[in-house]
Homo-oligomer: A and B are copies of this chain.
């Protein structure tokens, strides 16, 4: 064959690949790698969304989850929330088009992120059971019932059915129902554990889980919704050259000064003028007329001017008190401490780390329990790959009185909860179970762990001292009647008096300050 013919043959095979088909084939990227994990992922995507949109609407969430085995290794999942509901014209896209969503372009802490998760569950449901997802929703007006499938080859929604009904009770919310091939297990990576941990960090939510092992109800522990994070603009330090160029070409600002001060956070008029001077661009220039060289100079100048860190009202950490309350809900320990670090920045994105430790009590004596969370979502899989685990292993826990094999997790009756919040969680894959190892993130987690470790060490040292004193005292106390008797005989004084003086003396000497 001639070379040209070969090239033509190769060209014939080249075609566009639908993102839906890509994720259908690579469903393990989304967390559908085996029946056990698939069931968890399918439940999780709906519950995470239910919590997110109910909170965003300022409504105290009540989430009802039903999980029923309809035949062997096949489950029906129903998740219902009391959120604001979804406009009917958006329903087909929100469930039937991969890469469609509201969170991707926003810099604000959110459980939702990619515009992939729920569509992944729909894809997996139709791939394994061939059935559409049923969506029932209302914004308080009419109730809309949908059956949605995905045209995988085109990545477009198929509306299998759509009916309306009256809504005399003015119900609002969203209910999804779908069937998947999956396997229900117990233990650390189970649906039940995911729900338990979700309740731990979302104490304002009522969660009712009706699963294969019966009904579990997590009552609302507080009537107070957490602070609603605000959307922020990108920070100049976190914008790459290519993105800057796109921003220049689409901005509504009429000059560079306006562009810098309005499209970015933390750039005031003075900083903007400084940037323009450094970049040798007229401050009045139309952003759309900035050429390649100028944009590169602008990019470099933006990195050189000193600017405040991005605002942190885009973040909503849990807080030390609520963290400890959450831990107490899930574990029975002897002592709890918590640390919330001040916000920090990686690649221009604000983030914040919280750590809570629980010690002793009914915790297993040999292995520390690791509880990882990102934006209030529990992470159950890929623990070894996660920066949280790496930071925990890097801390010298022996310094705080715990045992720890070399380079390992601490081997003590300890639970370590780490919560990472950010406007953009750098997950290692679309499966959203492990956070990537950015040096700034690693450092902040480690500092939080060390701070919490020191606090816990104080308690443990105190406890040890008390226990040692008690031990000493109990030894003394065992012998003082004999001693008192002998001393009384030798000194001819009252045995009772000697005994009471000795007791008093021992109490004083073994008192812990």
Where the two chains meet, the residues of A that have a C-beta atom closer than 8 Å to any C-beta of B are 1-4, 6-8, 10-11, 13-19, 21-22, 24-26, 28-29, 33, 53, 56-59, 84-87, 89-90, 93-94, 97, 99-102, 104-106, 114-115, 123, 126-130, 139-141, 152-153, 172, 240-243, 245-246, 292, 295-296, 299, 384-385, 424, 426, 428-430, 436
Q: Which chain B residues border A105 with CB–CB below 8 Å?
A: 15, 17
Instruction: Name which of A1, A15, A84 has the most chain B CB atoms within 10 A of its CB.
Output: A84
Q: Which chain B residues border A114 with CB–CB below 8 Å?
A: 17, 22, 26
Count this chain's copies in the assembly. 2
Q: Which chain B residues border A53 with CB–CB below 8 Å?
A: 10
Asked whether B17 lies within 8 Å of A99 as measured between CB atoms, the reply is yes
Given contacts A16-B97, A100-B15, A429-B428, contact A86 B7 (CB under 8 A): yes
Asked whether A101 lies within 8 Å of B8 as measured between CB atoms, the reply is no
CA–CA, A168 and B201, complex, Å: 70
CA–CA, A86 and B85, complex, Å: 50
Instruction: Name which of A10, A90, A115 has the most chain B CB atoms within 10 A of its CB.
Output: A10
Between A and B, 26 residue pairs with Cβ closer than 8 Å are: A3-B84, A3-B85, A3-B140, A3-B172, A4-B141, A7-B87, A8-B87, A10-B56, A11-B86, A13-B102, A13-B106, A14-B90, A15-B101, A16-B97, A16-B100, A17-B101, A21-B104, A25-B424, A29-B428, A127-B243, A128-B240, A130-B241, A130-B245, A130-B296, A152-B242, A428-B429
Given contacts A139-B3, A242-B127, contact A102 B16 (CB under 8 A): no
Asked whether B86 lies within 8 Å of A28 as measured between CB atoms, the reply is no
Q: Which chain B residues border A240 with CB–CB below 8 Å?
A: 127-128
Asked whether A93 lies within 8 Å of B14 as measured between CB atoms, the reply is yes
Instruction: Name which of A15, A85, A424 has the most chain B CB atoms within 10 A of its CB.
Output: A15
Instruction: Name which of A28, A141, A292, A384 has the most chain B CB atoms within 10 A of its CB.
Output: A28
Nearest CB of chain B from residue A50's CB, rounded to whole Å: 13
CA–CA, A104 and B22, complex, Å: 8
Asked whether B93 lies within 8 Å of A6 as measured between CB atoms, the reply is no
Instruction: Name which of A6, A28, A101 has the most chain B CB atoms within 10 A of its CB.
Output: A6
Q: Which 4 A-B pairs have the closest CB atoms?
A: A127-B242, A13-B102, A7-B139, A17-B99
Per a CB cutoff under 8 Å, which of B6, B58, B129, B429 touches A84? B6
Nearest CB of chain B from residue A2's CB, rounded to whole Å: 7
Asked whether B100 lies within 8 Å of A241 as measured between CB atoms, the reply is no
Asked whether A102 lies within 8 Å of B14 as measured between CB atoms, the reply is yes
Given contacts A28-B436, A241-B127, contact A101 B56 (CB under 8 A): no
Per a CB cutoff under 8 Å, which of B6, B18, B115 touches A57? B6
Asked whether B28 lies within 8 Å of A87 as measured between CB atoms, the reply is no
Asked whether A29 lies within 8 Å of B429 as measured between CB atoms, the reply is yes
CA–CA, A17 and B28, complex, Å: 21
Asked whether B102 lies within 8 Å of A57 as measured between CB atoms, the reply is no
Q: Which chain B residues border A246 with CB–CB below 8 Å?
A: 152-153
CA–CA, A11 and B436, complex, Å: 31
Asked whether B14 lies within 8 Å of A139 as measured between CB atoms, the reply is no
Nearest CB of chain B from residue A266's CB, rounded to whole Å: 21
Asked whether B87 lies within 8 Å of A139 as measured between CB atoms, the reply is no
CA–CA, A8 and B89, complex, Å: 11
Q: Which chain B residues border A25 with CB–CB below 8 Å?
A: 104, 424
In the complex, the chain B residue whose C-beta lies closest to that of A29 is B429
Q: Which chain B residues border A152 with CB–CB below 8 Å?
A: 242, 246
In the complex, the chain B residue whose C-beta lies closest to that of A242 is B127
Nearest CB of chain B from residue A346's CB, rounded to whole Å: 12
Nearest CB of chain B from residue A436's CB, rounded to whole Å: 6
Nearest CB of chain B from residue A52's CB, rounded to whole Å: 10
Nearest CB of chain B from residue A113's CB, rounded to whole Å: 10
Asked whether A115 lies within 8 Å of B242 as measured between CB atoms, the reply is no
Q: Which chain B residues border A426 with CB–CB below 8 Å?
A: 28
CA–CA, A172 and B56, complex, Å: 58
In the complex, the chain B residue whose C-beta lies closest to that of A384 is B384
Asked whether A140 lies within 8 Å of B56 as measured between CB atoms, the reply is no
Nearest CB of chain B from residue A6's CB, rounded to whole Å: 4
